[in-house]
């Protein structure tokens, strides 16, 4: 683990900032490099490195400040853990083996895109051989073995290439980052079997992910204009007058 010579620079804050600002900057960065964001990416290890750099810097700053004043929070991580949601971000570097094991299991659970039973689709439409193959393919996708899943999909008999086949093709495409094709496959699967909830969920999930993109650039200027100041004063005056007082005596 490398701590750059200036932990403040790592977090992008200045040494004169108060604890609250530093904590906010740290949270912001931790969210940015959170392992969940790089789940399917080849760059997961780079993000992990960045994450531990940030953790180390934050710890260093808190240690320094803890020495300087008795009032600062000595163990920020424990406190933050209370909110639970970003547990991973504040995890201890010296975590125990059990903890690490636990996290890995948790991660694997998150990776699972659909339930193992594979019974979500309308099973009567397919032959027994196809059904067992679909279960196998689902397991492959869950465990991240995409090339194997692709090979199995190719093997499925043309007669059995119904909605489920189209859907699983879409899942493979999704994993490969082939979003246009994936979206098309999900729509196709949903069209073939409109009663299937899973197909609908996947179709909509793409839409939600797309909607979530684009908040990273501040184009609007914050703050208030002269107009805002005047109207607020007038409002405050009205309120005061209601209660019998007066804020602006001339009106």
Catalog residues that contact other proteins under the rule CB under 8 A: 32-33, 37-38, 41-43, 46-47, 50, 173, 176-184, 187, 206-207, 209-217, 219
Our CB check for other proteins shows the closer of 86 and 176 to be 176
Our CB check for other proteins shows the closer of 46 and 233 to be 46
Our CB check for other proteins shows the closer of 33 and 58 to be 33
Our CB check for other proteins shows the closer of 197 and 219 to be 219
The count of other CB atoms within 10 Å of the CB of residue 214 is 7
Q: How far is the CB of 4 from other proteins (least distance, A)?
A: 11
Q: How far is the CB of 57 from other proteins (least distance, A)?
A: 14
Our CB check for other proteins shows the closer of 47 and 192 to be 47
Tokens at 6, concatenated: 């200036």
Report the distance separating Cα 246 and Cα 239, nearest Å: 9
Our CB check for other proteins shows the closer of 1 and 180 to be 180
Q: How far is the CB of 42 from other proteins (least distance, A)?
A: 6
Q: How far is the CB of 61 from other proteins (least distance, A)?
A: 19
Category of 159 on φ-ψ map: left (φ > 0), alpha (ψ -120 to 50) or beta:
alpha
Q: How far is the CB of 45 from other proteins (least distance, A)?
A: 9
- 167 half-sphere exposure, CB direction, 13 A CA radius: 28
Q: How far is the CB of 238 from other proteins (least distance, A)?
A: 38
* Alpha-helical runs (H) found in the chain: 7-11, 19-32, 44-68, 76-80, 97-111, 128-142, 146-155, 163-175, 179-192, 197-211, 226-242
Tokens at 158, concatenated: 């043309």
Our CB check for other proteins shows the closer of 210 and 236 to be 210
- 189 half-sphere exposure, CB direction, 13 A CA radius: 28
Widest CA span in the chain: 87
Q: How far is the CB of 40 from other proteins (least distance, A)?
A: 8
Write phi, then psi, for 3 (nearest 5 degrees). Answer: -100, 120
**DSSP secondary structure letter of residue 198:** H
Tokens at 110, concatenated: 């998150």
């Amino acid at each position: 683990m490398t701590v750059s010579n200036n932990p403040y620079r790592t977090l992008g804050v200045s040494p004169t900032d108060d604890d609250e600002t530093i904590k906010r900057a740290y949270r912001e960065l931790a969210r940015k490099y959170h392992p969940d964001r790089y789940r399917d990416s080849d760059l997961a290890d780079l993000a992990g490195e960045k994450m531990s750099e940030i953790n180390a810097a934050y710890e260093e700053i808190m240690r320094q400040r803890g020495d300087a004043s008795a009032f600062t929070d000595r163990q920020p991580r424990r406190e933050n853990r209370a909110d639970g949601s970003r547990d991973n971000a504040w995890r201890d570097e010296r975590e125990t083996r059990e903890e690490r094991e636990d996290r890995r299991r948790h991660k694997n659970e998150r990776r699972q895109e659909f339930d193992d039973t594979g019974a979500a689709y309308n099973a009567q439409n397919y032959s027994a051989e196809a059904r067992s193959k679909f279960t196998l393919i689902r397991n492959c996708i869950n465990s991240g073995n995409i090339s194997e899943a692709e090979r199995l999909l190719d093997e499925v008999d043309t007669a059995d290439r119904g909605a489920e086949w189209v859907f699983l093709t879409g899942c493979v495409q999704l994993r490969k980052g082939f979003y246009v094709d994936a979206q098309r496959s999900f729509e196709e699967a949903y069209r073939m079997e409109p009663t299937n909830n899973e197909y609908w969920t996947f179709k909509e999930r793409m839409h939600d992910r797309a909607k979530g993109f684009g908040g990273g650039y501040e184009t609007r200027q914050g703050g208030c204009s002269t107009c805002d100041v005047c109207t607020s004063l007038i409002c405050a005056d009205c309120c005061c007058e209601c209660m019998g007082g007066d804020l602006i005596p001339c009106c």
